[in-house]
Amino acid sequence: MLTFLARGKRQTGRILAIAAAAILWLGPALGQAATHTIQRGETLGVIAKKYGLSASALAAHNGIADPNRVKVGQKLTIPAKADTLTYTVLKGDTLSTIAKKHQTTAAAIAKANGIKNPNAIRPGRKLKITVGTAKKPTKPRPAAIAGSTLREINRPRIRRNRWKHIVIHHSADSNNSIRGMEHYHRRVRRMENGLAYHFVIGNGVKTTDGKIYVGDRWKRQIRGGHLASSSLNEVAIGICLVGNFEKTLPTAKQRTSLKALVSHLRKRTGVPFSQVRTHRHINPKPTICPGRRFSLRSILST
Ligand SMILES: [Zn+2]
């Protein structure tokens, strides 16, 4: 009878122990905080792995500055994975270091906590952080201007205040080639410097769609021949899009390239946005160039 009772007690004890372990184990799964007592031989890394966390996230959650200095018997609070925890900002913390510790982003923490100025987080401030929400790095977007073209554009030394305007043209013929335009300007129009524009953007017919051709006049930083005014030609960069925009629209690639080229040239030359003009708007003589269907502002603002 006595032994029977003792065995019963022992069994009840064992069941209670199993139940307690089950609660501890289920805690994180249920999105509740659990605790873990550090055993001999356990590192933060081992414990973190057990709960599907990183050592740094676990350390940060428990305010442990040095993850290598934990004691046997020390109790850790285990945040549920992808759960929200409260983090108290320490001295020297920045949003990005905090984000890194919790595998999230500074932007996500700022958003969750209504932080307008990410540089003004004071020690002691409590932040709600959702662990492990960092997005995988996305592939960088392809550059709007090809690297080799960019080097060609950047090669010449640009004198300060050299350029005052950027003027956009169409070629008026979608079948134009660079060689044909060069021939027309040099041989027919008898321009000693050849191609009148500094840049030509191809349309995919006899030129590559969206390709920026860097003209000789840009390489030499000399005057254009694209306006009916000698003084304007002296200070106006000419960009010509192949096509007739009385009839058709610029291609999507032409639009993207034009926007990128204008933006890059403005940075290099200091030409203000207000001085990016169409031929029609700047020319002293009436012209339809670059065509009624061409909208400069819609291209530059999208
Ligand atoms: Zn024109």
Spacing, Cα 291 to ligand 1 middle (Å): 9
- Give dist(CA 74, CA 66) in Å, integer: 14
pLDDT in tens, 214-251: 999 999 999 999 999 999 999 999 999 999 999 999 99
Residue 191: partners with Cβ closer than 8 Å, 6 or more residues away? 185, 225
Spacing, Cα 224 to ligand 1 middle (Å): 12
Spacing, Cα 64 to ligand 1 middle (Å): 68
Domains 30-130 and 147-301 share a fold: no
Spacing, Cα 281 to ligand 1 middle (Å): 10
Residue 100, judged by CB atoms within 10 A of its CB (0-12, 13-18, 19+), counts as middle
Spacing, Cα 9 to ligand 1 middle (Å): 98
What DSSP letter does each residue of 135-159 carry, written as one string? PPPPPPPPPSS-HHHHHHHHSSPPP
Specify whether the CB–CB gap between 128 and 86 falls below 8 A: yes
Specify whether the CB–CB gap between 99 and 132 falls below 8 A: no
Q: Considering the domain 147-301, what is its CATH architecture?
A: 3-Layer(aba) Sandwich (3.40)
Spacing, Cα 167 to ligand 1 middle (Å): 8
Section 104-114 average pLDDT: 89
Spacing, Cα 204 to ligand 1 middle (Å): 20
Return the structure tokens found at 295: 């909208």
Domain spanning 30-130: CATH 3.10.350.10: yes
Q: Read off the pTM.
A: 0.56
The residue extents of the domains of the chain are 30-130, 147-301
Beta carbons within 10 angstroms of residue 151's beta carbon: 11
Spacing, Cα 169 to ligand 1 middle (Å): 4
pLDDT in tens, 269-295: 999 999 999 999 999 899 999 999 999
Beta carbons within 10 angstroms of residue 107's beta carbon: 14
Spacing, Cα 296 to ligand 1 middle (Å): 13
Sign, CA torsion 271/273/275/280: positive
Spacing, Cα 121 to ligand 1 middle (Å): 54
